[in-house]
Structure 1
Amino acid sequence: MDAVDQGWAGVRQRVAALGAAPGNREVFGAFGHEWVLEEPLTEDALAELEAQIGVRLPEEYRTFLTQVGAGGAGPAYGVFPVRRVEGRWRWEGDGADLTDLTLLAEPFPEQGPDPETLAALLAECPEEESFDDDLDAFDTAYEAWDSRLADVLWAPERTAGAVAICHLGCAQREWLIISGPQRGRIWSDPRADEADLEPLVDDAGRPMTFGRWYLEWLGKAERAVGVAAGA
């Protein structure tokens, strides 16, 4: 039964039970979200959010927003909350500002930079040893190379149609695709390690939808802490 079918029944209570359980800090990222969920969005708030970004959110995520919460306790350091600030909606969190609110209705590009082009650029990374202790020359060369790499990996168009949904620490993040063929799925973002985005899959190689991503995290957290589901 997926998240849409079961309507997120009991999820807020399950998170609250984890928050009250001894040893809950053993779950990775718990100190970041403290097992706190934001209040759910009203239907009117959800409609206003979708009108602003120009696209209907994936069903599992939009029902999460109205039945569970606008963000908070969740995988890694938590689900980035979506909030209305000075009359405009935006996602907030460490790296949430990477979401380009003007590009969310555009289809997410499944194909990133050409792997051979990226590999060739990485091979050109300046080495300090090659500059005969001329640190200024090395810094200048490295900054120029890093700018070229950013143009390849970090162009705003690379994450069009996607929302930065959580961070894993060390500048690693995960994205929820909301437009295009990958709509509703989670992609991992290792660009801080000079690699392109890639689909997040389970041990069987199946793509992770938002609902499975969240509920599998919740089940693993319950097992780690020794809390029965629905307790």
Structure 2
Amino acid sequence: MTHTDWSDVPGRLARLAAEPGAEGIFGARAHRWSLEPALRAGELAELEGQLRVELPEEYRSFLLAAGRGGAGPAYGLFPPRRTDGRWAWAGDGAELTDRDSLARPFPHTEAFNPADALPEPPDEEDFDTVEAFNDAEDAYWERYDEVVYAPGHAIGLLYLCHLGCALREALVVSGPARGRMWADDTAEGGGFRPLRDDDGTPLGFARWYRRWLEASEMSARAATVRG
């Protein structure tokens, strides 16, 4: 089976939906093991035309052959939808994708944390009054948000799912890491990092999705046996 062959996915999701132990798997209540209808070739062409970039092959083949979104890691895959003639992804955090900059290269291949450029937060012991410390602390965290959450860090990233607690995972659409999946852990101060398989291999979209599918099947079987 190639990375762009998704013919097994509908049957596997259907079996998971029927497995008693599957309903307790994280995120299942959100996506219910169901995929939204696949995109038609003309819809994908229109979407890519608006983005001015071709999506990585593993993901675009999924959109055409499996579904546009729904059942997937964590709370599920963000689906692309057309609203007033404009394509955009829908979901909690999907708005982090800057559609106008997806064609610009994401420059990183190794983990990075924008917060590393900042000094340590102010220490209350360094201030004569509580008011002065509070002012310095407010200024620090305002600057922290400006640096860490600057939209430029996500150029070339297509956000695809939400793990909860504002943690998200994204596909690199442009740049040297094109086609690979990255984690955005900035909400917990962790910055950005490439996702890797158990052997350290960088995860592309296909392996990322199938890894979740395999883990879900194992968890569902185990829960059913215990139940």
Provide runs of 4+ in structure 1 moved above 4 Å: 111-115, 127-133, 136-139
Q: What is the identity, as a one-letter code, of the residue corresponding to 2:3?
A: A
Structure 2 stretches lacking a partner, 5+ long: 223-227
Q: Which deviations, in whole Å up to 9, do the C-alpha atoms of 1:111-165 show, x marking residues without a partner?
A: 68976x8446251x2356766884x655543332123222322221111111111
The count of residues paired between Structure 1 and Structure 2 equals 222
User: CA separation of 1:62/1:132 partners in 2, compared to 1, >3 Å: closer, same or farther?
Assistant: same
CA drift of 1:180 comes to 1.0
Question: Does residue 3 of structure 1 match 2:8?
Answer: no
Q: Is the 8 A contact 1:71 1:80 kept in 2?
A: yes
**Structure 1: unaligned runs, 5 residues or longer:** none
Give the equivalent residue in structure 2 for 1:161: 156
RMSD between aligned alpha carbons?
A: 2.3
Partner of 1:144: 139
Partner of 1:186: 181
The C-alpha deviation readout for 1:85-136, integer Å capped at 9, x for no partner, is 1210001111110111110000012068976x8446251x2356766884x6
TM-score (norm 2): 0.89
* Partner in structure 1 of residue 205 of structure 2: 210
Q: Partner of 1:107 in structure 2?
A: 105
Q: Flag the 1:194–1:42 CA change in 2: closer, same or farther, 3 A.
A: same
Cα distance in 2 between the residues matched to 1:19 and 1:43: 28
CA distance in 2, matches of 1:114, 1:224: 32
Cα deviation for residue 17 of structure 1 reads 1.7
Amino acid at match of 2:6: W
In structure 2, the partner of 1:47 is 45
The CA deviation at 1:196 is: 1.7
1:62 Cα deviation after fit: 0.3
Q: Distance in 2 between matches of 1:162 and 1:10?
A: 28
Indicate the percent of aligned positions where both proteins have the same amino acid: 49
Alignment of 1:47-86 (within 5 A): 47-86=45-84
